[in-house]
Structure 1
Amino acid sequence: MTATPWGFRDILPEEAQAREEIALTVKGCFREHRYLPVETPLLEDKGSLEEGGRIADTPFKLFDDDGRLLVVRPDNTLPIVRLVSTRMRAADLPLRLRYEAPVVRECQRNAGGSRQFTQLGFELIGAGDTAGDVEIVSLVAEAVRKLALPDARIIAGSVRPFKELLAVCEDRELAAEALRCVHANDFVGLDARVAESNEPEAVKAAISELPRLHGGAEVLDRVDALLTAAGIVAPLTRELRALVEGLAPEDAQVLSFDFSIMNSFDYYTGLVFKAYAGGLPDPVGSGGRYDSIFTGAFGDGIEVPAAGFAFSLERLEAARTSAEDAASDGDHAVGRGAEGPLRIAVPKGSLKADTLDVLEAAGLDVSELRDPGRHLIVRGRDTRAGEGTVGDIEFVIVRPSDAPAFVGCGGADCGICGWDSLIEADLNLLQLVDLGYGLCTFIEAEPAWRAGQAERNYARRGSLRVATKYPRIASAWYAERGVNADIVSLHGNIELGPIVGMTDRIVDITATGATLRDNDLVITGRIMDCTARFFVNPGAARLDPRVRNLADRLAAAVKDKHFEPVAGSAQ
């Protein structure tokens, strides 16, 4: 008997009973508001789902005996669109539907995630404008209250301001790249791409600043100011202002705004929001408004507004138990929220010295971090008092390549590592600041005495053999150039690969070029420059203001500062 495939697991009776109790509470809340249950098949036609918008990638595809490409559903909204379009066209509107169903999505291997989870969700079809937005947000807030989840927050935004802003860009490549960067939570890349553009300064400023805006209802004034300066006069925050006014006081108290929220599906047209609870960095659910996907479902040319939301049963369970875990674990709990010390993952190795200097320049006490002995976690504090203070700190000392996992999986709130480590980890992390130090260059190289051999080998076998410690970076670079490359992952002395004839070339980092010269290797391609970055868990950035405050102070500390390149070692 074998174990379950990775990303899937069995659920035993004790946990199953806890999940059942949560599901009954949530479904009971939906039922009280006249939402009716529906079920859709586990397998769907891939083409029919894609008609509704960009769908999450799923690794589970198969052909049926008719030759149709089927997928295991990655989401429940688009199957319900299909159901309504084909089976419920004559239904009276508004239509209120709910569901409890598993979905399967791809996730990063060896990152502790699951590929299957159960959604508890609802769809409100035919109710638009403020009334519909207020209903769905209020329903989510009520469900969270009935579950008695601690530290509940609803973080909302809208896709309209940013999409309208990109629509006025004459540089369409900038618009596409900016949207990609925001979807990828890469604000450093966003700033770099904006800086290269010839768009008006007001447009460039709005593109960079808008996804960074967060706070209470007052932040909507800043959104309007940015859009007006960029030449957009439409009242694009009106729906959010009306939402605040329409909510009951107890619901409005848990609502705040963050314009970095851009849900992963392209069908959203307005309001988007996520629910957080239990001090966990990951949302317990997400949803929003998608007024375009039901167009034509009730007749040709008929536009029907729609909105919905889906809880993750697994995350609801984690949020419910986090308070108990925090009580038993004390300061060692993962779901600490904004009450405990701010945890920062700091790198060992070649980045350490500059990291300490920058943290100190930002006002943090790093005295214990300079000489931690054998301690893996050391204490620190903010030396600055007053508004914006970070307070007590815990520095978690890690290898640079491990920092993304610590932050992404909730072991730390934020961290510092090289950009290469973030690319290789491929986790959902928000990159806020290019710190400028740790500069090195990614290059392709080969032995000087083997010049031309790689080309001959490529012509003979149709691929290059490349040794590297950075398989994602190398694979992406060759793919962009249309070159077939067989990547050989090594962990040290990769220069030996082509020297002993095992590979044709290497992809590695260099700062001074000394190692290349000592081994008679010559550069055959330049891939990218890499520096250290300050990054955070998106949930921590939305729930804990200390994270953003620290980001601002780090950005100020490195502004106009010169750093020496690092030695050619892993970042």
Structure 2
Amino acid sequence: MNDKVLAAGSRDEFGEKLQQKQKISQMITTILNDTDFTPINTPLIERESTFDKYQNKNVFRLFDQVGENLVLRPDLTLPIARFLSANRQQNSMSRLYYIGDVFRRTDSLSGDYNQETQAGIELIGDQSFEAEIQALDTMLKFAQEFGIVDVQVVLSDARFIDVVLENLQLDQDLRQRMKQAIEQKNVSVFEELRATIPDFPEGLAGWPLAFGEDGETVMWQLQEIPAVNDIINDWLKLAEYTHKHYPAVAVTVDLAAASPQPYYTGTIIRGFVPSLGRYLFSGGRYDRLLENFQNKSLPAVGMGLNIETILADWRRKPEEMKPQEPIVMVLGKGRVEKDARPLLKAAGIDTSLLENPARKLIFDSTDGKYRFILVKPSDVVKYLDRGIGDVGIVGSDTIAEQVQNHYDVLNLQTGKAEFVVAAPEGFNLDTPTRKRIATKYPKIATEYFSNRGEDVELIKLEGSVELGPLTGLSDAIIDITQTGNTLRENHLQVYDAVGPVATHMLVRAGALLRFQLELTKVINNLVNILKEEEQ
């Protein structure tokens, strides 16, 4: 074992970058100490119960000397809530700030780091809307101090989607499915559900993409709902304050935003940097902050400051500050790209250079709006996750087997196929005996059999899955079929349909805000084209 090799996901920091990081921390400390914030530092190691509502798969677990479950803290807000519950009175008001490291498990070989530095503020015990204004003002002052000139304030609310859906008087199941489609900006699923709701408001027809200018248009149409009007009035207060004190900062809304954490109860404020395609700050009101630790709640507004975004801005070279960059579209080579090309062209994208690609893999459209990258389908998601691509087009089978860090916006209805359970004649899918299943798609297979309440032996294959039952390696397979010819040629029968497969359009979260006008136009054009094809 090489003792010089770091643990997976860890890194050493030194030299210029560390000096810049230290400078950022010093600036944060100086500014907040001068504005009557009190520093707080919590232990790196906490009881596991502190993070009961946290995503458990991301947590590093430890045991103390008496066997108690501990974790390396994956977040700093909940430890502060734990501290407040134990040490402060319910009616007390305080202004706290923190700078510290957090630890989160990452996927093996992902290139992500499992340790990062967080900074942020907590305004505790203040029920007034003045707390939201103070929090936003503090973050915008930081943007000025750090020289980040193109920050954009994006406003949303943890209550908004629920309030509007409740006003539509939908049953609980449909309401939950609608909420999920809206938050995930899944236009295809939203359209399917919307079609089942009589008299659905026309103004909300594009709800998953109701952010930026489109969101502001929809916002004004919902004022007749009293609870929505209260939310809008709060947004207007924040916008008015920002325009008065920071006239160069744009303010917009996102009517489809998901709540960052379950304990959020009101306004959500994010600071987006379009030229970087990432957030500088985010947070909002969470009056349920202490519910993990006691029955009573405590008003609180918190904002986190992304130190990595500040570093990325500081370390940019002048040539990287381009006024207009192309939208990078990553397409799966072969049938995916070939089938998607006519749709993209009909939606208004110049795809002429893709028609004769020869051996090239990167193309710029003649109008300069798009850059196309052709890659192996399994690599499409990786290009999006690393920030290289803005839009990805690939089969849903590939998407299903990879981590979802993007919006699955649209089912393009090309490359249609079906996941199936197939086996030789005489196979019994309902037998209680443990089955051996060969597949290229372990996540799909695991979900299918888990939903059936079965524990099976999965055998991951890369080549011809049909050989599994024929050689005795497996009892059955889960695979994709379009015509069924390959299955019949290998004397296999379909015993159950697992789910549909088609080509999907993915969009990186930051790209939707950065290229909102162009991408919204293209997505809406595609929705209309697909509707016409169905008729």
TM-score w.r.t. the length of structure 2 is 0.90
**Equivalents in 1 of 2:54, 2:164: separation in Å?**
21
- 2:374 maps to 1:397: yes
Query: What is the DSSP-based 3-state SS (H/G/I as helix, E as strand, rest coil) of the residue aligned with 1:365?
Result: coil
- 2:344 maps to 1:373: no
The Cα offsets for residues 353-396 of structure 1, whole Å up to 9 and x where unpaired, read as 221111111122222111111111012145xxxxxxxx522111
The Cα offsets for residues 24-67 of structure 1, whole Å up to 9 and x where unpaired, read as 223333233221110111222233443xx555743322344555
Query: What is the DSSP-based 3-state SS (H/G/I as helix, E as strand, rest coil) of the residue aligned with 1:201?
Result: coil
Which of 267, 278, 282 in structure 2 is aligned with 1:286?
Answer: 282
**Equivalents in 1 of 2:236, 2:409: separation in Å?**
27
**Equivalents in 2 of 1:296, 1:354: separation in Å?**
50
Q: Structure 1's 490 and 266: CA in aligned 2 closer, same or farther, altered over 3 A?
A: same
1:431 CA drift (Å): 2.0
Which of 253, 256, 260 in structure 2 is aligned with 1:260?
Answer: 256
- 2:522 maps to 1:523: no
Q: Does the 8 Å contact 1:156/1:272 carry over to 2?
A: yes
Mapping for residues 163-202 of structure 1, pairs under 5 Å: 163-168=162-167, 169-195=169-195, 199-202=197-200
Aligned to 2:118: 119
**Equivalents in 1 of 2:366, 2:313: separation in Å?**
28
**Equivalents in 1 of 2:360, 2:389: separation in Å?**
16
The Cα offsets for residues 253-310 of structure 1, whole Å up to 9 and x where unpaired, read as 232222333243111111113223372333233211102224799x985x64211111
1:7 CA drift (Å): 2.1
**Equivalents in 1 of 2:277, 2:56: separation in Å?**
21
Which of 235, 242, 245 in structure 1 is aligned with 2:240?
Answer: 245
The Cα offsets for residues 130-170 of structure 1, whole Å up to 9 and x where unpaired, read as 31111111211111221113532232211211122344544
Q: Does the 8 Å contact 1:184/1:428 carry over to 2?
A: no
Q: Does the 8 Å contact 1:108/1:426 carry over to 2?
A: no
AA paired with 2:447?
A
Aligned to 1:345: 330
**Equivalents in 1 of 2:436, 2:148: separation in Å?**
53
- 2:510 maps to 1:539: yes
**Equivalents in 2 of 1:208, 1:24: separation in Å?**
48
Query: What is the DSSP-based 3-state SS (H/G/I as helix, E as strand, rest coil) of the residue aligned with 1:154?
Result: strand
Which of 330, 346, 353 in structure 2 is aligned with 1:361?
Answer: 346
Q: Does the 8 Å contact 1:56/1:105 carry over to 2?
A: no
C-alpha RMSD of the superposition: 2.9
The Cα offsets for residues 429-460 of structure 1, whole Å up to 9 and x where unpaired, read as 11222211111111111122x524x777x62x
**Equivalents in 1 of 2:341, 2:280: separation in Å?**
35
Which of 522, 527, 534 in structure 2 is aligned with 1:555?
Answer: 527
**Equivalents in 2 of 1:227, 1:5: separation in Å?**
53
AA paired with 2:44?
L
AA paired with 2:529?
A
Q: Does the 8 Å contact 1:36/1:98 carry over to 2?
A: yes
Q: Structure 1's 182 and 47: CA in aligned 2 closer, same or farther, altered over 3 A?
A: farther
1:21 CA drift (Å): 1.4
Which moved further from structure 2: 433-442 or 160-169?
160-169
**Equivalents in 1 of 2:71, 2:502: separation in Å?**
40
1:225 CA drift (Å): 2.5
1:184 CA drift (Å): 4.4
Q: Does the 8 Å contact 1:378/1:395 carry over to 2?
A: yes
Query: What is the DSSP-based 3-state SS (H/G/I as helix, E as strand, rest coil) of the residue aligned with 1:417?
Result: strand
1:414 CA drift (Å): 0.9
**Equivalents in 2 of 1:233, 1:282: separation in Å?**
28
Q: Does the 8 Å contact 1:210/1:226 carry over to 2?
A: no
Mapping for residues 394-543 of structure 1, pairs under 5 Å: 394-448=371-425, 451-452=427-428, 459=433, 463-543=434-514
**Equivalents in 2 of 1:396, 1:133: separation in Å?**
42
Moved over 6 A (4+): 205-208
**Equivalents in 2 of 1:304, 1:90: separation in Å?**
7
Aligned to 1:26: 28
Aligned to 1:568: none
Q: Does the 8 Å contact 1:54/1:266 carry over to 2?
A: no
The Cα offsets for residues 62-111 of structure 1, whole Å up to 9 and x where unpaired, read as 34455543222221111101111111227842x11111111122444444
Residue-pair matches, total: 530
Aligned to 2:37: 35
**Equivalents in 1 of 2:449, 2:260: separation in Å?**
27
Mapping for residues 88-107 of structure 1, pairs under 5 Å: 88-89=88-89, 92-93=92-93, 95-107=94-106
TM-score w.r.t. the length of structure 1 is 0.84
AA paired with 1:561?
E
**Equivalents in 2 of 1:86, 1:120: separation in Å?**
22
**Equivalents in 2 of 1:405, 1:182: separation in Å?**
24
Mapping for residues 177-326 of structure 1, pairs under 5 Å: 177-195=177-195, 199-202=197-200, 209-216=206-213, 219-220=215-216, 222-223=218-219, 225-226=221-222, 228=224, 235-247=230-242, 248-250=244-246, 253-277=249-273, 279-294=275-290, 304-321=298-315, 323-324=316-317
AA paired with 1:241?
L
Aligned to 1:157: 156
**Equivalents in 1 of 2:430, 2:4: separation in Å?**
45
Aligned to 1:386: none
Identical counterparts, % of pairs:
27
Query: What is the DSSP-based 3-state SS (H/G/I as helix, E as strand, rest coil) of the residue aligned with 1:192?
Result: helix
**Equivalents in 1 of 2:233, 2:529: separation in Å?**
37
Q: Structure 1's 379 and 411: CA in aligned 2 closer, same or farther, altered over 3 A?
A: same
Q: Does the 8 Å contact 1:202/1:226 carry over to 2?
A: no
AA paired with 2:58?
T
Which moved further from structure 2: 61-70 or 356-365?
61-70
Q: Does the 8 Å contact 1:211/1:258 carry over to 2?
A: no
Unaligned runs of 5+ in 2: none
1:18 CA drift (Å): 1.8
AA paired with 1:440?
A
Q: Does the 8 Å contact 1:103/1:117 carry over to 2?
A: yes
1:222 CA drift (Å): 1.8
Q: Does the 8 Å contact 1:117/1:312 carry over to 2?
A: no
Aligned to 1:59: 59
Q: Structure 1's 421 and 482: CA in aligned 2 closer, same or farther, altered over 3 A?
A: same
1:507 CA drift (Å): 1.2
**Equivalents in 2 of 1:76, 1:270: separation in Å?**
20
Q: Does the 8 Å contact 1:278/1:320 carry over to 2?
A: no
